[in-house]
Amino acid sequence: MDQGYNNIINSIRKFYPVSDESIAELTGHFTPLFLPKKHLLIKGGVLDRHVYFIEKGFCRSYCILNGKEVTIWFSREGDITFAMKDLYHNKPGYEYVEILEDSLFYSIPINELNALYQKNIEIANWSRVIHQECLLQIDQIHIDRLYLTAKERYEKLIDEQPDLLSRANLGHIASFLGMTQQNLSRLRNEKLHSSLRF
């Protein structure tokens, strides 16, 4: 098995027990992409018929609202990233994906991935499970916006994704949480001071 896919393979098997043979069939369609920090992997309004597997690196998905960037997702080692309308409806999506660190991606054309779903039940089941999990995460984000305070949302995000503070800037994190950067800075300082008292 190619050692260059360790993070991707571990992530796939976290969701579904895909065999070595099926992993080899999937990765046989991969094209490596070494891309630098600040590169725009996906651009809103531009059709992109690929799914990107992240072996090394970190990126954010965002959309433009009233001329401002609003972060809607963070992706890291083992994750996949894509534009949803591109994947599901063969239409240009609204998302931009910006690379926040020098990264190694493996791309696969959507038509080739769809063909794998037709003939490989393990790959199809893995995809079903990971999309189900993403849907649950998106739903939880909406629920948290309704029921949790800004402080609770911040603390939950950092508990679940502790690497965010070192890999994304405060502006990106603030827009993801639906608050101003000033409010996030205040919450972060409060949490820091609280931890220093114990």
Structure tokens at 69: 């960037």
For the chain, the domains span 3-118
User: How far, in Å, CA of 175 to CA of 171, rounded?
Assistant: 6
* 9: nearest Cα among 40, 25, 162: 25
Residue labelled with tokens 């309004």 = 45
Angle (CA) 29-89-109 rounded to 5° is 10
- How many residues does the structure list for the chain? 198
User: How far, in Å, CA of 177 to CA of 155, rounded?
Assistant: 11
Residue labelled with tokens 């063909």 = 115
Angle between the 170-177 and 150-160 helix axes, to the nearest 10 degrees? 120
**What is the pLDDT at residue 38?**
97
User: How far, in Å, CA of 75 to CA of 107, rounded?
Assistant: 15
- Digit-by-digit pLDDT tens for the chain (198 residues) are 345 899 999 999 999 999 999 999 999 999 999 999 999 999 999 999 999 999 999 999 999 999 999 999 999 999 999 999 999 999 999 999 999 999 999 999 999 999 999 999 999 999 999 999 999 999 999 999 999 999 999 999 999 999 999 999 999 999 999 999 999 999 988 877 666 555
Query: What are the C-alpha distances in Å from 129 to residues 16, 43, 44, 118?
Result: 7, 27, 26, 16
Interval 82-130: pLDDT, tens: 999 999 999 999 999 999 999 999 999 999 999 999 999 999 999 999 9
In CATH, the number for domain 3-118 is 2.60.120.10
